[in-house]
Structure 1
Amino acid sequence: MVAAAKWGIRRATIDLEMPRLATFSSRVDSTRKSVARHWEDEVRLFVTGLPLAVLPQCTFIRTQNGSQPMTSDHLSALILANIEMAAEVNHVLAIAEKVLDHVPEHALTSIDPSELERNLVFLGLIGLQDSSKERFEIPR
């Protein structure tokens, strides 16, 4: 929230410009959460969660040149980045999206989220630092 505020991103603005249509949580292990929003005349699904739960669902990656097919080199680099970030912050989340052009808005609440959370476009990794929690190291 602090990082978003520094960039001028406010929850109220997001809710106004991108109305929330449905929210889904992974029913089995709570490793992913998805929200469907109406944005730019499209229904988009945004998925956040543990990188190792989100990355396998991504078949594309957003780059400076647009969306590109996710390669094994991309995946290896992202897994390494996740490990490196996890050493520095409390939590690492992956974020991905998908345009739901085939799903009518009224049907969103009746669809199994795992059906929607496939063939995602990977957007990035986010490191979260909670300064109120002390970091601890496991004794060796």
Structure 2
Amino acid sequence: MLSKLTRLGETVFQAGDGLPYDVLMPRLEMTVRVQVKTTTSPQNGFYRFEMRKGYRNNPQGTRLYRPEDYDIAALVILPLDLVIFTARKLASHRIALHQIAAFQVAPRQSLHAAFSALGLSHEACAFTPAH
């Protein structure tokens, strides 16, 4: 995921363990918290992404993310090397097979749409690491 965002020209950082988001993306206005969900195969004409945290075998089980847990979801379809971004806070997301080609043709479009939904510019923050 980090390499995909880097190839799209974004500055990204891996978030720490135990946080409800996986990646940080500095923007001019704020640092965007990104929750990454992956899938490998479609079912009944859709790629599905459940927006839950925790593990099935965990004594606490799984639970839904709260709206304040992350800013953008990155929906990764592994075999297609495709990432679709959304700022919509749904319990699950579905991407129809017929939508895939449009996302492949314009890989940054969903990221720009997610930033716009949050009221953010498309400009990355100029980050200079400490020496």
TM-score normalised over the length of structure 2:
0.27
Judging by fraction of residues, say which structure has more helix: 1
Please identify the structure whose Cα radius of gyration is greater: 1
TM-score normalised over the length of structure 1:
0.26
